Amino acid sequence: MISTCLSFTIPPESLSGREKKGLCPERDFKVEHGGFSDHPVYQLKHVPKTSLLVTSGPADGFLQVWHMGQDETDVIKPLYTVHTTRGEEHCWAKIATAFSKSAWVLHGLRVSDVQVTEMESRRTVFMAGSTSTDEVATLEFLDEAAVLACSTKGQLFLGDTRQPQGLLWVGEDAHVSEVLPGQSWCAGVCCAPLLSSGDRRLVARLSSAGRVMLTDLRNPMRPVKMAQCSVPTGGLCGAGFLSVSFAPLLGEHLAISGFDGIVRVYDTHNWSPSVQDVNPAFVHKGHVFSGVGKAGDAAPVTTSHAWHPSKPRTLLSAASDGSLHVWDWSELCAAS
């Protein structure tokens, strides 16, 4: 039986103070909530406005719902499970959460399996209704009603939970299906319309070959910007660790990871609709250095990254060797 630890921590003071200080695990990080799972955890999401967490893992056939204790206890306790499609060891149900009139979880292993479940009643409130059996790479709530799915083949699907027709394929994208066949993809959604883009709502898609495409959801048939990032692709298996995300407070900046132990930050302001080779504005190599000198260990791979919600140039990243980094970046530097 595999036991996985779940924990929430207090953000270190050095992230909120003006004075620059080094991070010390014993001083700066204090466990607020903790618990253990009997199953591997591949994805974890917090449900907004609640004390609930949702996790998914490989081949389980269910999602686990957890409750974070309040004043009386600091234990993260399992509450119940939500059934989903059973997968294989290398793939698992992707999840996203939202709070409409109640707590919702959007989940699915394949596009045809995507659905929204009301967590308290475990009632299905939305079904994809799609015939596509492509594996899901990314799921997102665009707002309280609209949902987006990106398949590992790079196709985008949109849905409105208030409508009965389910997920709708947004149309054939020749840049994905013809120019870049056989690659794995993932997606990231810009949190809000960008000031520099009018009222456009952008989605970034990242391929396993390092191609990035920015698409306007109002006209998703053709990307508005494209670029080719210089990344290692040898030995990359699927899209399991691929990740792309927009900076919530820095306009059209985004970060990509999952190719190796590096997180790369790009400024997309000057990208054009034609494919061009681009260089990152910043490269974080901390996970590579943390794995140096460990005989017999494979080089760490960055498994996930996230932008700090209120610190524009602060990111968090985790790697396959168990390391967790909190770091800032500057365009004056090229690496950290």
What domains, with CATH codes, occur in the chain?
A: 174-336 (2.130.10.10)
Q: Are strands 282-284 and 277-278 parallel, antiparallel or unpaired?
A: unpaired
What is the pLDDT averaged over residues 324-329?
Answer: 90
The one-letter amino acid at 25:
P
Contact 113, 83 (CB under 8 A): no
CA-CA-CA-CA dihedral for 84, 89, 90, 95, to nearest 10: 20
Closest CA to 305 of 243, 250, 226: 243
pLDDT at residue 201, as a whole number: 81
d(CA 78, CA 73): 14
- Res 25 pLDDT > 90: no
Taking the mean position of all CA atoms in its chain, how far away is CA 80?
A: 24
What is the pLDDT averaged over residues 179-198?
Answer: 71
What is the pLDDT averaged over residues 48-69?
Answer: 87
Of 27-31, 211-215, 231-235, 239-243, give the lowest mean pLDDT range.
27-31
Q: Which H helix or E strand runs over 79?
A: strand 76-83
250-273 residue pLDDT tens = 878 999 999 999 999 999 999 999
DSSP secondary structure code for residue 134 in this structure: P
What is the pLDDT averaged over residues 161-168?
Answer: 82
218-252 residue pLDDT tens = 888 888 999 999 998 765 555 578 999 999 998 78
Per the model's pLDDT, the better-predicted residue between 17 and 175 turns out to be 175
